[in-house]
Amino acid sequence: MDAQTTAESVGAALLGAALSFVGARYWFNRNASVKEAERIAVDHEALVKRVVDLEKQLSLVGQAVLPISTAFQAILIKELTHFHTPEMDALMVKVGPPSTLTPEQELRLAYLLEERTKDMGDMITESEREAAMILPMVIKRARAEALMPDTPIAFKLVTVLPEQPEQPEQPEQPEQPEQPKKT
């Protein structure tokens, strides 16, 4: 064999090896990018599902939240509803939300609530008397809340930490010189 044939054989072998390396590298990178794209797609689906679940939960929370005056009004009405006061019970049903009381009915309810605080003697508890006194004010507040536009309300959490007892200052100790290390 002559030198030129040997050089051509070595060159062809090197060219073949280089082409094989480039081809293998191309397919390896392509497979890696396909696997990465599949992983990203799976992660994306999981995130979309999670966002949908969170949106559902948030909508349920939004439906469950009542203005505080409306919730308090419902508690007072429940405490004041009795079988022996059908007229007042019928009016309290109309309190709402939404309130369907006419101005005349509202005045009548206020009168009946005032009677409940004074004239019923032992038929009602002190708690019911207090509820009867408070309810007209809460009804007005609940109506005002219902008329407020749906503006977002921001709450800020404030944390107050207890004070740490002061530590008595300890006198500083003089530094001791470092001892030489034995090797």
Decide if pLDDT at 145 tops 90: no
| Token duo for residue 8 | 């051509």
Between CA 36 and CA 141 the distance in angstroms is 58
More confidently predicted of 153 and 120: 120
**pLDDT at residue 62, rounded to an integer:** 61
pTM of the model: 0.46
Instruction: Tell me the mean pLDDT in the region 53-82.
Output: 78
Categorize the per-residue pLDDT at 101 as very low, low, confident or very high, splitting at 50, 70 and 90: confident
Question: How far is it, in rounded angstroms, from Cα 109 to Cα 124?
Answer: 17
pLDDT of residue 22: 92
Report which of 136, 47, 48 is spatially closest to residue 95, judged by C-alpha positions: 136
Cα–Cα dist 69/143, whole Å: 9
For residue 142, pLDDT beyond 70: yes
Q: What angle do CA 146, 150, 155 make, to 5 degrees?
A: 105
Query: What is the pLDDT confidence band of residue 1, given thresholds at 50, 70 and 90?
Result: low
Question: 73, 121 in Cβ contact below 8 A?
Answer: no
Given a cut of 90, whether residue 39 has pLDDT beyond it is yes
What was the pLDDT predicted at 183? 57
71 pLDDT higher than 70: yes
**Structure token pair of residue 68:** 């505080």
Share of the chain above pLDDT 70, in %: 77
For the ranges 19-23, 29-33, 67-71, 179-183, the lowest mean pLDDT is seen at 179-183
Mean pLDDT computed over every residue of the chain? 81
